[in-house]
Amino acid sequence: MSLGAIQFTMDRLKDADRVIGTTGQVLTSNGTNGIKWETPSGGGGSIGGSITNTQVAFGDTTANDIKGSANITFSETATVTTFNVGGSLAQSVIQANQSNSGTSRARIQVSKNGVTRGYLECSGSSTDLNVTAANRLVLSSDSSQPIIMAPATGVGIGLTSIDTNAGLHVEERIVGNKGIQVGNEDSTTAVESLEGTLRYNYVEGAVGAFSYSHIEMCMQTDNSTWSWVTIETNRWTQN
């Protein structure tokens, strides 16, 4: 025998303590003393705010609200995942911070097939910024423009400290497949710190007089003297 659907209609319900509860409370049971009206804890949520498609959500200045920005977006296609920062603002910054301790680090890492290929990081108490590659490190330009490094005190290769008067200071020999070119330099006095330096020196004479070109090297010539020693000289009558 089926009784069909049974419905109850009421405007209030008292619990085991004979109270009807207050707004927002729910009926609960502890399994022994019947049911009680209680204020729920946990669950639910109070996040508000609004956000547009592809925008990355972040906390708003209003507590428990989120918002998005057209300057921070995430998009994905079948072949490309793109996280984009910047747009209408004057500056875009992605910042990784570390504490100044021996075990801390801040790193931006690139991997391929789950294997780390390289990273940009600072670590420990060092002030160095390290660029590390697991294999070759390649710097290239997609246009006809050159790659330019313009540090204030020179570039060092294979060294922990460099001669700050040198634009480029390397630990090993320099090999050039198409030769090594030295410039027209005629103002430096020969001193010990320049010994072994090769230079090209051009002296232009007046019209009708001789002009000269020299290949010279800074060499020690006595116990405490150095001179620019001429290796080869050419001369011609200036037009």
Q: State the pLDDT confidence band at 4, using cuts at 50, 70 and 90.
A: low
Residue 120: CB partners within 8 Å, gap ≥ 6?
107, 108, 129, 130, 131
- Sheet strands (E) in the chain: 26-29, 35-38, 48-50, 58-59, 65-67, 72-76, 81-85, 105-112, 115-123, 130-133, 155-157, 168-170, 198-203, 210-222, 225-237
Q: How far apart are CA 195 and CA 167, in angstroms?
A: 17
Residue 154's closest CA among 146, 163, 145? Answer: 163
Give the mean pLDDT of the chain: 89
| Rounded average pLDDT over 126-151 | 90
Structure confidence by residue, pLDDT tens digits, 58-78: 999 888 899 999 999 999 999
Q: State the pLDDT confidence band at 46, using cuts at 50, 70 and 90.
A: low
Structure confidence by residue, pLDDT tens digits, 77-130: 999 999 999 988 889 999 999 988 888 999 999 999 999 999 999 999 888 999
pLDDT for 196 equals 92
pLDDT for 53 equals 93
Answer yes or no: is pLDDT of 31 > 60.
yes
Answer yes or no: is pLDDT of 44 > 70.
no
Answer yes or no: is pLDDT of 169 > 80.
yes
pLDDT for 43 equals 63
pLDDT for 171 equals 93
Residue 202's closest CA among 180, 225, 182, 176? Answer: 182
Domain ranges across the chain: 8-42, 51-59+66-85, 97-138, 143-173, 192-237
**Total residues found in the chain within this entry:** 239
pTM of the entire structure? 0.61
Q: State the pLDDT confidence band at 45, using cuts at 50, 70 and 90.
A: low
Answer yes or no: is pLDDT of 3 > 70.
no
Structure confidence by residue, pLDDT tens digits, 190-237: 999 899 999 999 999 999 999 999 999 999 999 999 999 999 999 999
